Structure 1
Amino acid sequence: MELRESLVHLSDNYIEQKEEIFTGNVLANHLRKVIPSLVASLLGAQDRYYVKGSAGQSNWANIPWIAIMDLTITKSPQNGFYLVYLLREDGKGLYLSLNQGVTDLKKKYGRSVSRALEISGSDFREQLKYSKNGLIEGPIDLAASQKGSLGNLYEHGAIYSLYYESGNFPDNETLENDLEEFITLYLQLVLNLSVGSSGQAEDDEMGLSIEDGTKLRQHKRVERNQALSKKVKKVQGFTCKACGFDFEKKYGEVGKGFIEAHHLTPVSEIKGRKVGLDPVKDFAVLCSNCHRMIHKTEFVDKVEEFRTSYIVS
């Protein structure tokens, strides 16, 4: 099944199927499994992105969605920003949208969340300055029936979007090209973000070109992602792969579970979403000293050679 066929099937049948029993529904399963699997196959680097579709939890959602989440930013549509297909509540059309997580912001801003989403969306657009025929900048119309609902907040959280009218979807090639362009747009926004909370360049970024600085920030963003780091440590343990240092043996309880996850892809070879995130083959656990030093050598991706050259006498 191609992307167009799959999305048209959703668009043409969702409103009717909402009248049917939710549990075990074939269309709901199509939304949860078939479309996400299809989208993931089109992305190529599936370890970088998490694709999830939802027709609701225990009952039908008014606005179903298929979200594409960069795992260095978020693994939940409740926070961060992500790509998402959103079907209008009345079923009259489908959006492909670079959108923002609304749940966490709603807790933070309360009744002002819609305005907060629009302001942050405007800031994101200033960073990207993207243009395309048919592009929608800012809020979209999902025909959300209830103000303050998740659907209503999705409307305000939109950064850039494309609209496909039900019964008049473009051909499959166009849909796939649109997805590819929005993935590139999403990636650019990820790379634009500074790792430092202050937004200032860190010491090792000073003097670098814009391109090299961007690659380095991407490298550090991967390494500092808490979910990824936790997974790496669970698989590889807490002993430095280079020098064998064990923080718990040296410092006792206070050092228990302390180690750093080092991403093995050299900064010079980072090419957007091709960066691997496998906790076994793409990372190594290193102590703080070895981690900092390995980046100063030619052995960023060769821990054993680093060990032989600099540690083992």
Structure 2
Amino acid sequence: MSINAALNIFLEEYPQALEQRFSGHSVADFIRNDVPAAVRDVLDVSDRYLVHGSPGQGNWAKVPWVAVYDRFITESAQDGFYLVYLVREDFKGVYLSLNQGVTTVRKVYGADAKVALAARAADYIARLGSVPATTVTGAIDLAVEKASSLGAFYEAGAICSKYYERGSIPADDDLADDLHQFVDLYFRLVTKDLTPTSSSSAEDDEVGLEQEDLTKLREHKRIERNRKLSEKAKKIHGYTCQACGFDFSRQYGEIGRTYIEAHHLTPLHTLKGQKVSLDPETDFSVLCSNCHRMIHRSEFVDKVEEFRARYVVRRES
């Protein structure tokens, strides 16, 4: 299904579906499965991006959505920032928006959450710098009826957006161009988010690095700190260091059980652009804390066996 067809069906059939039982409804399944599939077909970037559609949880959402997550930033609509198609409450149109997760912000800021979201949006806009002339920056209008609804927070959390009016949804090629443009904006913001705002925020192994090398190192760390990816890698490779053979559970007992660090094998100099290989079996290894720190200081970031031969086995003999 084309993205044009998916968005049109979304806008046309959702209002009628609201009057019907939520559980098992075909429109709900359509939003969870068909619309995300249409978006994935256009993206065709890599497994770096996840696409998720939500008609609501248990009940129909006032503002249903389909989101695109960069796995290095977030894997849910609760925190971080992400791309999202947001349908207005009056169903007169849909926004493509670079927006923010609101759940965590609401928990932290309470009644001031919208102010916080708007302030953060302004900061993100400043980091992006120039944006395409066809996009709008800042708050959007989702025609929400209640100021306390989730939609009102999506309005405040908007960073930059583009609006499509019902009945005038652009052709597939134009929608694809817009989506790719917003993915580029998303990636730019992810890259900007890797840049420390002060020297005090730099970690030990980052001190003295030039901007490009620092950005690549932080991207590498962000990959390794992705919880779901690292957990999958550990389950596949086990919990014994693949360089020195250290076993935390043998040394520390129960508190060391299942502890190990996941190491991404992609060399830092190849971390350019959005396509990054993220197969937990072939693109990761597991290392103890010491070997993990040292391999990043060596010339064998992507070659654990050579690191072992050069720095571990030689020392043992």
Q: Structures share a fold, TM > 0.5?
A: yes
1:224 matched to 2:225 = yes
Paired residue for 1:200? 201
CA distance in 1 between counterparts of 2:21 and 2:308 reads 61
Paired residue for 1:312? 313
> Residues 48 and 70 of structure 2 are in contact (CA less than 8 Å); yes or no, is this contact kept in structure 1?
yes
Paired residue for 2:188? 188
Residues 239 and 196 from structure 1, CA distance in 2 versus in 1: closer, same or farther, beyond 3 angstroms? farther
CA distance in 2 between counterparts of 1:197 and 1:123 reads 12
Larger deviation: 84-93 or 212-221?
212-221
Q: Equivalent residue of 1:309, what SS?
A: helix
Q: CA deviation at 1:196?
A: 7.3
What are the Cα deviations for residues 50-82 of structure 1, in whole angstroms up to 9, with x where unaligned?
A: 211011122211111001111222111011111
> Residues 195 and 220 of structure 1 are in contact (CA less than 8 Å); yes or no, is this contact kept in structure 2?
no
Paired residue for 2:161? 161
Q: Across the two proteins, how many residue pairs are aligned to each other?
A: 313
Larger deviation: 34-43 or 68-77?
34-43
> Residues 88 and 143 of structure 1 are in contact (CA less than 8 Å); yes or no, is this contact kept in structure 2?
yes
Q: CA deviation at 1:17?
A: 2.5
In structure 2, what residue type is equivalent to 1:177? D
CA distance in 2 between counterparts of 1:151 and 1:71 reads 24
CA distance in 2 between counterparts of 1:44 and 1:212 reads 27
> Residues 196 and 202 of structure 1 are in contact (CA less than 8 Å); yes or no, is this contact kept in structure 2?
no
In structure 2, what residue type is equivalent to 1:312? V
Q: CA deviation at 1:3?
A: 1.1
What are the Cα deviations for residues 269-301 of structure 1, in whole angstroms up to 9, with x where unaligned?
A: 012321122221111001122212222333211
Within-5 A mapping of 1:1-313: 1-194=1-194, 200-313=201-314
Q: CA deviation at 1:215?
A: 1.2
Q: Equivalent residue of 2:313, what SS?
A: coil
CA distance in 2 between counterparts of 1:42 and 1:236 reads 34
CA distance in 2 between counterparts of 1:41 and 1:171 reads 15
CA distance in 1 between counterparts of 2:263 and 2:211 reads 23
Q: CA deviation at 1:151?
A: 0.8
CA distance in 2 between counterparts of 1:196 and 1:21 reads 49
Q: CA deviation at 1:197?
A: 10
> Residues 46 and 275 of structure 2 are in contact (CA less than 8 Å); yes or no, is this contact kept in structure 1?
no
CA distance in 2 between counterparts of 1:42 and 1:169 reads 16
In structure 1, what residue type is equivalent to 2:105? L
CA distance in 2 between counterparts of 1:17 and 1:252 reads 55
Structure 2 unaligned regions, length at least 5: none
Structure 1 unaligned regions, length at least 5: none
CA distance in 2 between counterparts of 1:175 and 1:212 reads 35
CA distance in 2 between counterparts of 1:30 and 1:255 reads 45
What are the Cα deviations for residues 221-277 of structure 1, in whole angstroms up to 9, with x where unaligned?
A: 111223332232222221011111112212333332221111101110012321122
> Residues 232 and 279 of structure 1 are in contact (CA less than 8 Å); yes or no, is this contact kept in structure 2?
yes
> Residues 52 and 66 of structure 2 are in contact (CA less than 8 Å); yes or no, is this contact kept in structure 1?
yes
RMSD: 1.9
Taking only the aligned residue pairs, the percentage that are identical comes to 52
CA distance in 2 between counterparts of 1:126 and 1:196 reads 15
CA distance in 1 between counterparts of 2:154 and 2:104 reads 13
Q: Equivalent residue of 1:312, what SS?
A: helix
> Residues 102 and 153 of structure 1 are in contact (CA less than 8 Å); yes or no, is this contact kept in structure 2?
yes
What are the Cα deviations for residues 155-204 of structure 1, in whole angstroms up to 9, with x where unaligned?
A: 11101101011111121111111111111111222222248797722333
Larger deviation: 8-17 or 283-292?
8-17
What are the Cα deviations for residues 121-176 of structure 1, in whole angstroms up to 9, with x where unaligned?
A: 10111111132122111110000111111011111110110101111112111111
Q: Equivalent residue of 1:161, what SS?
A: strand
In structure 1, what residue type is equivalent to 2:184? T
CA distance in 2 between counterparts of 1:243 and 1:255 reads 16
Q: Equivalent residue of 2:156, what SS?
A: helix
> Residues 84 and 98 of structure 1 are in contact (CA less than 8 Å); yes or no, is this contact kept in structure 2?
yes
CA distance in 2 between counterparts of 1:131 and 1:291 reads 39
